[in-house]
């Protein structure tokens, strides 16, 4: 049975597809030229609008480069930030901006990687140019373009595309009918493809056979949970925070793939008695946070959210004050490349000439 809304959106999806394909043809035929950065560039992106686990992968790549003595600079658009133009989020020694000015994901990357340079800009070329000038005496060894698979205006030494194996693959549809930013066949533009969020090997195998037709290297990854952090309420300044398995909680988040978050919590043993989800990157208001806290208090529940949502609220201290009426946690997550890690290491080294 067809979804009536899907049928209504199809003409807009076809129009969007035409624009995307025309733009790609201009680059393919060299009618639009990509700018070459003086610093090696690694791009990490995807074909869909959010939910692929891109940010944890960017974090993984940043940490890998730091581990081999190569200082990285992250360049991001800073989605839904309140600032404009080129902004220095971190100079690799001191963090300058929070999530309101930098965007939640970018702020999280900066705080989790204090040795990395982080810059946001609507125009990535301007960000790279800023880095080459501002850090002329201590240039980074690599530029990491966050969410830039569709941004072809800058040449890259390595182009990484991520696929969320939890979503439909061959039946995926273009925006706004579906979540595809461009057709699946454009995966052939990637140098490396990462199948992420693998929980079902059989389903991942079906997708892998399709993806291998591109002739590009394909590696497998999954989301691994990390530390449970209590940032408000009873245990916020204590070493006696409960284990995930003893939590009875209300889960809330503004992310592209809430089901993945619920699956992770369930796997960790958290009892999710209620949940409230919002649009990806949706700004929290005092009204929304108060309503969440009232429900949690009424049902005698703790609160649990994602690390990205924590950083979004951290940019607004008044929200942290409101939520402190209840114990509130976030669960750190990491990328676990469990098949093909050596391929990734080799390609990341080759991108910087090592």
Q: What is the DSSP secondary-structure string of 174-207?
A: BTTTSSBSS-GGGGGG-SEEEEES---HHHHHHH
Separation CA 251–CA 127 (nearest Å): 36
Residue 351 neighbours by CB under 8 Å, 6+ apart:
40, 41, 42, 142, 157, 158
Predicted structure pTM score: 0.92
Among residues 37, 12, 53, the alpha carbon closest in space to that of 140 is found at 37
Beta bridge partners of 248: 271
Q: Are 129 and 143 in contact (CB under 8 A)?
A: no
What is the token pair recorded at 94? 């001191």
CATH code linked to domain 4-222+347-351: 3.40.50
Among residues 151, 183, 180, the alpha carbon closest in space to that of 41 is found at 151
**What DSSP state is assigned to residue 273?**
E
Residue 165 neighbours by CB under 8 Å, 6+ apart:
195, 196, 197, 198, 199, 200, 203, 204, 207
pLDDT in tens, the chain (354 residues): 456 777 889 999 999 999 999 999 999 999 999 999 999 999 999 998 878 899 999 999 999 999 999 999 999 999 889 999 999 999 999 999 999 999 999 999 999 999 999 999 999 999 999 999 999 999 999 999 999 999 999 999 999 999 999 887 878 899 999 889 999 999 999 999 999 999 999 999 999 999 999 999 999 999 999 888 998 865 444 455 566 667 899 999 999 888 889 999 998 999 999 999 998 888 899 999 999 999 999 999 999 999 999 999 998 999 999 999 899 999 999 999 999 999 999 999 999 997
The predicted structure's pLDDT at residue 238: 47
The predicted structure's pLDDT at residue 236: 47
């Amino acid at each position: 049975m067809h979804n009536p809304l899907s049928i209504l959106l199809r003409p807009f999806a076809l129009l969007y597809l035409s624009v995307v394909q025309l733009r790609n043809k201009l680059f393919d035929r060299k009618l639009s030229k990509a700018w070459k950065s003086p610093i090696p560039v690694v791009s990490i992106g995807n074909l869909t609008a959010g939910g692929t686990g891109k940010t944890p992968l960017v974090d993984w790549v940043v940490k890998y480069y730091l581990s081999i003595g190569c200082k990285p600079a992250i360049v991001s658009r800073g989605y839904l930030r309140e600032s404009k133009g080129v902004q220095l989020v971190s100079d690799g020694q001191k963090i300058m901006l929070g999530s309101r000015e930098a965007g939640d994901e970018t702020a999280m990357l900066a705080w989790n990687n204090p040795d990395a340079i982080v810059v946001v800009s609507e125009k990535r070329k301007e960000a790279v140019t800023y880095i080459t000038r501002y850090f002329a005496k201590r240039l980074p060894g690599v530029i990491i373009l966050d969410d830039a698979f569709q941004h072809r205006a800058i040449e890259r030494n390595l182009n990484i595309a991520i696929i969320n194996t939890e979503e439909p693959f061959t039946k995926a549809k273009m925006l706004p009918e579906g979540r595809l930013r461009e057709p699946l066949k454009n995966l052939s533009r990637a140098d490396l493809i990462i199948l992420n969020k693998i929980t079902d090997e059989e389903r991942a195998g079906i997708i892998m056979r399709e993806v291998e037709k591109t002739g590009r290297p394909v590696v497998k990854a999954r989301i691994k949970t990390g530390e449970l952090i209590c940032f408000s309420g009873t245990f916020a300044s204590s070493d006696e925070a409960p284990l995930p398995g003893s939590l009875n909680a209300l889960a809330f988040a503004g992310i592209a793939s809430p089901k993945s978050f619920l699956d992770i919590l369930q796997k960790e043993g958290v009892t999710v008695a209620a949940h409230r989800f919002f649009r990806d990157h949706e700004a929290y208001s005092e009204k929304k946070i108060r309503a969440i806290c009232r429900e949690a208090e009424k049902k005698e529940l703790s609160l649990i959210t994602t690390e990205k949502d924590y950083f979004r609220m951290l940019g607004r201290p008044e929200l942290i004050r409101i939520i402190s009426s209840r114990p509130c946690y976030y669960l750190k997550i990491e990328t676990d490349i469990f098949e093909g890690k050596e391929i990734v290491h080799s390609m990341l080294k080759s991108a910087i000439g090592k």
